[in-house]
Amino acid sequence: KRAEKGVKAQKKFTDNIINSLVDTIYILDPKSGKGINWNETLNKISGYNYKQMNEYPPSHFYPPEEHKLIEEVVKTTLKKGRGSVELNYIIADGTRIPFEYKLVLIKDAEGKPCICVVGRDLREQKQAEEKIKASLKEKEVLLQEVHHRVKNNMQLISSLFSLQSGHIKDRRALEILESSQNRVRSMALIHERFYQSKDMARVDFAEYAQGLTTHLFSSYGINTNVIKPHIDIKDVSLDINTAIPCSLIINELVSNSLKHAFPKNKKGEIKIAMHPLNKNKVELVVSDTGIGLPREMDFRKTDSLGLHLVNLLAEDQLHGNIKLDREKGTSFHIKFKVKR
């Protein structure tokens, strides 16, 4: 009797633990397809009493479109010993509650196979996910607005430069103003790409480089049948902190080529290439087939503001290294690290 009493006490203790769990527990007999036991948590969440839970088959508690998922996860559990699935549990008042289920193949006291189904109510998790999605969407919209406004402000500055240039007679002063206008325009294009991009964190640099090159050729009145632009950029996306220095470097080097590399309508090509060297490093190459820089010129120590900017941007902003190849025209190679 004492042993029997001890067994009953132990069973009661175990039942109390199982019934106090936050998760639902449901024991399924795979042969009959019916539940043979469950904890009180399931009764409380579902709103069904013991009699109803006993009468209805498991499929009754789930929408018809999920019945096939139930069949598949039961087969998987019988075959592999474990399974998992997300389903919508229909409680007594018709409300659907998202649940995550973990299934484990066990044996009853007689050694017959049963499936223990542990269910976790996902309502709070789903609500938290929706709040995060809404918050991210709101931030995305705000970021788009920031890029849009910055782009508009830069376009306004560019327009002011353009108006001012109409009143300048000095050729050198006009060139300086036009160069400044192109620098502002190159940055405005980056912000335009960012607010149009699906990924607000990065921009497809191939599309941007094409747009910037088209603008520069148009700005300098270049016939693309005489000087041909060539863009060779694939699988490169950059964040804004990397994209802006790269855009300014391309602006300076392409502008320099258009102004000085092809005198007397000399034909040639300007090429912009950018390729990943590895997972964390990229090489930008801006080259032309023009007359080349004078041999005696040290591009690191020059009075040219454009080349001075290129060096500063490559080394101080991108933390990269820059090299000049004079073999065939002029070719600048800039290697730098990128964030993935």
pLDDT above 90 (res 101): yes
Task: Report which residue type is found at 224.
Answer: T
Confidence (pLDDT) at 67: 93
If pLDDT is split at 50, 70 and 90, which confidence band does 335 have?
Answer: very high
Q: What's the rounded mean pLDDT across residues 151-177? A: 77
Closest by Cα among 219, 147, 249 to 190: 147
pLDDT above 70 (res 260): yes
Burial class (CB in 10 A: 0-12, 13-18, 19+), 189: buried
Q: Per-residue pLDDT tens for 189-229?
A: 777 776 666 666 788 888 888 888 888 888 888 899 999 99
Q: Per-residue pLDDT tens for 233-259?
A: 988 888 888 888 898 899 889 988 988
pLDDT above 70 (res 174): yes
Residues 6+ apart with CB under 8 A from 272: 209, 213, 229, 230, 231, 232, 233, 250, 254, 284, 285, 286
Closest by Cα among 203, 184, 210 to 143: 203
Place of tokens 């699906």: 198
Q: Per-residue pLDDT tens for 71-82?
A: 999 999 999 999
The structure's pTM equals 0.58
